[in-house]
Structure 1
Amino acid sequence: MKLLHTADWHIGRTLNGYSLLDEQKYAFTQILKIAQDEQVDGIVVAGDIYDRAIPGTDAITTLNEMFKELNIDHRFPIYAVSGNHDGAKRLNYGRDWMEFNNFHINTLLEEAFHPIETDDTQLFLLPFFDPMDARVYYQKQGMDEEDVKAIKNIGEAMNLVIADMVKLFDNDKKHVLITHFAVSKSADDKIDLTSETTSKVGGLETLTAKQFDQFDYVMLGHIHTKAASPSDNIRYSGSPVKFNVKEAKIKANKGVYIVDTNKKPDKADFREILPQTDLIVLKETWETLLDPEFYSQQPVRKDWFAITIKDFDRTKHVHTNVRAQLQDIYGTVVELDYDNIEREVTENNLENINQLSNEETVDKFFQSITGNQLSTEQKTIVDDIFLELERGE
């Protein structure tokens, strides 16, 4: 079976207020062409199809047109799961009649235990879920109440889920898993979540490759770069578009994987996707940025720029509209930052809040107000609140 593996479309995403819909449409046209050129048997979208649980009308219209073009106009089967950014119940609407046209989308845990069967492959579509979802599911299955309560983290929940999937294996077929989680090579390895939150709420903590070793191939979503793939047969396709400065700094190209279940994975399986408008990251002094010899070497007025001005003395530029002056030269500046002595001192003395999980942020705020840490009961309440927010229901 030959499949195109893509993920993390995040339709509706913006970059500091700039819409990325045109970029996403441009990437989609390349995905479609690759699928046609490769004559694939289906297209996998491994989660985070939308950027948020309640997408805007433009995002809905855009995605509907994309899926229509793939599935109806060109008759490609689609195998998709919901990610942590998707509204699972909303995305589940229409699922039953979509299957009549070979459009398979799983957004609820219980749906993952009904593999899609082809002549030579079993496809298991496992959507993003959290420990609470697993507890509810296994309680409905009649699991002992104490065993249900023992499911405290996503690792324990995943072990149960995979064990039940393995019971469904047809030994005469290949077994492919499509899912949306952070998976590392081992428990000792840490992976950069790129444009994803570092929060552990809702099961975002890292799973390990060993947990999936009974599958012939695992197609992952959630991490936005293929460089995070833990092994040759457990891979991230990465997102088709650069979503922030952090991703723009990563050298790994954007693209999709072509997966043939009858062949061993190979580096040549990757197909690059080129941006319509690239995101260029610059970190230079003010003098350098205004030097024609420097900016003449840049794709000015063609690509987007994220600029950090080094050693910038604000007192010398009180009457200067810095952004306007840079935009006159470079065109669209989607992000402007300053790297100066004052900021360096601040950053050396304060934790970067972007590196804290949601619950850690709440805990530190609580400490700053009360002088005490959150109790176990309070932490549980905070965790449950963020789980509900993640679901967006």
Structure 2
Amino acid sequence: MKLLHTADWHIGRTLNGYSLLDEQKYAFKQILQIAKDEKVDGIVVAGDIYDRAIPSTDAITTLNEMFKELNIDNKFPIYAISGNHDGAKRLNYGRDWMEFNNFHINTLLEEAFTPIETEDTQLFLLPFFDPMDARVYYQQQGMDEDKVKGIRTIGDAMTLVVNDMYKSFDTDKKHILITHFAVSPSADKEIELTSETTSKVGGLETVIASQFDKFDYVMLGHIHTHLASPSDKIRYSGSPVKFNVKEAKMTTDKGIYIVDTDEQPDKTDFRKITPGTDLIVLEETWETLLDPEFYSKQPVRKDWFAITIKEFDRSQHVSTNVRAQLQDIYGTVVELDYDNVEKKNDQEATSQNISQMSNEDVVGKFFESITGDELSEEQKSLVDNIFVELERGE
């Protein structure tokens, strides 16, 4: 069975107020063409289909057209799951009749235990879930109350879930898992979450690759670079589009994987996706940015720019409209920052950029600054649960 593995479309995402829909459509056209060229047997979308639980009308219309083109116009089966950004219950609407057209989407934990059967493969579609979802599910299954209370982490829950999946294995078929989590190669080696999130709340904490060792192949979503893949048979496809400056700074390409269950995975399985409008990161002095010899070598008025002006003294440019001057030269500047070295002090040098902190850490730092005490474990758990519910929009 030959599958196209993609994930983290985040349809409806914006970059500092600039819509990324056109860029997402451009990437989608390449995904569709790759699927045609490779004559795949299906398209996998491993979560975070939308960027938010309640997407905009434009996002809904765009995704509807994409799925229509894949599934109805070109007859590609779709195997999709919800991620932590998706509204699971809303995305579940229409699931039953979609299956008649070979469009399979799982958004709830209880749906994950029945595999989708093909001639030679069983596909298990495990959407994002958190420990509370697992506790509710297993309580409904009649599990002993003490054992239910023992489901404290996503690792605890995943062990139970995967073991129950193993019970449905057909030994004459290959077994594919599609899921959406941060998966570490081992217990003592965590992965960087890149741009997806700095949070490790609830289900966003990592699980261990060995928990999936009985599957022939695992298709992951959640981390936005394929280089985070724990192994050759447990892989992230990464997102098809650069979503922020951190991703733009990475030298790795965006793309998708072609997975053939009859062959061993290797590096040639990756297919590059080329940006329509790239995001270029520049960190230079004001003088360099205004130097024609420098900017003539840049894709000015073609791509988007995120610019940090180094060694910048604002007092020398009081009457200068800095952004306007840069946009006259470069075109669209989606992000502008300043590196004011003369204003740095010891406090700034040691402080953590709030944009790099998780929501939970921000709350913890604020609580500590007001009370002088750290959050208790019970308070941390309460904060975690609140942010899970807010993010999922349920």
Corresponding residue of 2:369? 368
Corresponding residue of 1:184? 184
Q: Deviations over 1:327-378 (max 9, x none)?
A: 0000000001111222474542312223333222212211211222233333
Amino acid at match of 1:369: I
Unaligned runs of 5+ in 1: none
Q: Deviations over 1:49-71 (max 9, x none)?
A: 00000000000000000000100
Paired residues for 1:289-328 under 5 Å: 289-328=289-328
Corresponding residue of 2:381? 380
Amino acid at match of 1:351: Q
Paired residues for 1:235-384 under 5 Å: 235-341=235-341, 342-343=343-344, 345-384=346-385
Paired residues for 1:5-44 under 5 Å: 5-44=5-44
Measured in 1, the distance between the counterparts of 2:382 and 2:363 equals 11
Describe the shift of the 1:247–1:94 C-alpha distance in structure 2 as closer, same or farther (beyond 3 A).
same
Corresponding residue of 2:64? 64
User: Identity across aligned pairs (percent)?
Assistant: 81
Measured in 2, the distance between the counterparts of 1:298 and 1:22 equals 22
Corresponding residue of 2:3? 3
Describe the shift of the 1:344–1:188 C-alpha distance in structure 2 as closer, same or farther (beyond 3 A).
farther
- Contact 1:201-1:358 at 8 Å conserved across structures: no
Unaligned runs of 5+ in 2: none
Amino acid at match of 1:293: E
Q: Deviations over 1:247-304 (max 9, x none)?
A: 0111110111010001000111111110100000011111000000000000000000
Secondary structure of the residue aligned to 1:386 is helix
Q: Deviations over 1:109-138 (max 9, x none)?
A: 000001000010000000000000000011
Measured in 2, the distance between the counterparts of 1:203 and 1:109 equals 13
Q: Deviations over 1:20-68 (max 9, x none)?
A: 0000000001000000010000000000000000000000000000000
- Contact 1:255-1:272 at 8 Å conserved across structures: yes
Describe the shift of the 1:86–1:343 C-alpha distance in structure 2 as closer, same or farther (beyond 3 A).
farther
Amino acid at match of 1:387: V
Paired residues for 1:79-158 under 5 Å: 79-158=79-158
Q: Deviations over 1:125-169 (max 9, x none)?
A: 000000000000111111110000011000111111111111111
Measured in 2, the distance between the counterparts of 1:283 and 1:274 equals 23
Measured in 2, the distance between the counterparts of 1:223 and 1:378 equals 28
Describe the shift of the 1:344–1:55 C-alpha distance in structure 2 as closer, same or farther (beyond 3 A).
farther
Q: Deviations over 1:180-232 (max 9, x none)?
A: 00112112223221112221213111112111111100000000011111111
Runs (4+) of structure 1 exceeding 6 A deviation are none
Corresponding residue of 1:162? 162
Amino acid at match of 2:375: L
- Contact 1:202-1:386 at 8 Å conserved across structures: no
Amino acid at match of 1:107: T
Query: TM-score, normalized by length of structure 1?
Result: 0.98
Measured in 1, the distance between the counterparts of 2:344 and 2:64 equals 45
Describe the shift of the 1:305–1:344 C-alpha distance in structure 2 as closer, same or farther (beyond 3 A).
farther
Measured in 2, the distance between the counterparts of 1:205 and 1:343 equals 34
Secondary structure of the residue aligned to 2:89 is helix
Amino acid at match of 2:2: K
Measured in 2, the distance between the counterparts of 1:166 and 1:237 equals 24
Measured in 2, the distance between the counterparts of 1:244 and 1:11 equals 14
CA RMSD of aligned residues (A): 1.1
Amino acid at match of 2:131: P
Measured in 2, the distance between the counterparts of 1:378 and 1:196 equals 25
Describe the shift of the 1:54–1:220 C-alpha distance in structure 2 as closer, same or farther (beyond 3 A).
same
Amino acid at match of 1:263: E
Amino acid at match of 1:239: S
Amino acid at match of 2:349: N
Describe the shift of the 1:185–1:173 C-alpha distance in structure 2 as closer, same or farther (beyond 3 A).
same
Query: Mean Cα displacement is larger for which, 353-362 or 260-269?
Result: 353-362
